[in-house]
């Protein structure tokens, strides 16, 4: 196996390779039936979120990223729960392990665009399928919608 072509693999013992991936935590945030999405440098819509930092829990990463990327108060989120996870191939040599959470926002502040993205949009669930967005994000949003409307 050529690890130069697959730099996310690390050989632990002769012939035994482990995935070594950064962890990204994303959040499906329901704001009165609207989902905030951010446009990245690849012109794709994505969920707010970011990399798990040292000594951080995935839950605290989710809360921090909502504050940083949307300017919303993390203490106004309710029902934060894991929705999905997957390995996302951003590029051939760049993979990331994504863990997604869902929550409802009960605050009154409106989301704002940070300097980390090109655009902020608020979308109803029914518009998500038509967006330029990786399929796992669409699956996560749909899974959260189903849970949110059932509970």
Do the domain assignments include residue 15? yes
Which residue has tokens 């665009």?
A: 113
Do the domain assignments include residue 80? yes
In Å, the largest CA–CA distance within the chain is 56
Do the domain assignments include residue 4? no
CB of 29 closer than 8 Å to CB of 103: yes
* CATH code (residue 26): 3.90.79.10
Domain that holds residue 81: 9-150
Q: What is the pLDDT of residues 18-67, one digit of tens each?
A: 777 889 999 999 999 999 999 998 899 999 999 999 999 999 999 999 99
Residue 7 has what pLDDT?
A: 63
Which residue has tokens 């940083």?
A: 68
Check whether 136 has a pLDDT greater than 80. yes
Do the domain assignments include residue 139? yes
Which residue has tokens 């990223």?
A: 65
Do the domain assignments include residue 76? yes
What CA–CA distance (Å, rounded) separates 43 from 117? 10
Number of structural domains (the chain) is 1
Do the domain assignments include residue 1? no
């Amino acid at each position: 196996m050529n690890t130069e072509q697959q730099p996310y693999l690390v050989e632990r013992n002769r012939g035994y390779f482990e995935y070594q991936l950064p962890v990204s935590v994303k959040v499906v945030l329901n704001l009165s039936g609207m989902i905030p999405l951010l446009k990245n440098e690849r012109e794709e819509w994505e969920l707010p979120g970011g990399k798990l930092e040292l000594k951080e829990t995935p839950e605290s990463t989710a809360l921090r990223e909502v504050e940083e990327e949307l300017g919303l108060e993390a203490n106004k989120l309710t029902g934060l729960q894991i929705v999905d996870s997957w390995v996302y191939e951003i590029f051939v040599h760049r993979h990331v392990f994504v863990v997604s959470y869902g929550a409802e926002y009960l605050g009154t502040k409106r989301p704002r665009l940070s300097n980390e993205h090109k655009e902020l949009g608020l979308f109803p669930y029914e518009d998500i399928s038509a967006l330029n967005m990786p399929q796992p994000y669409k699956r996560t949003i749909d899974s959260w919608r189903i849970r949110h409307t059932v509970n």
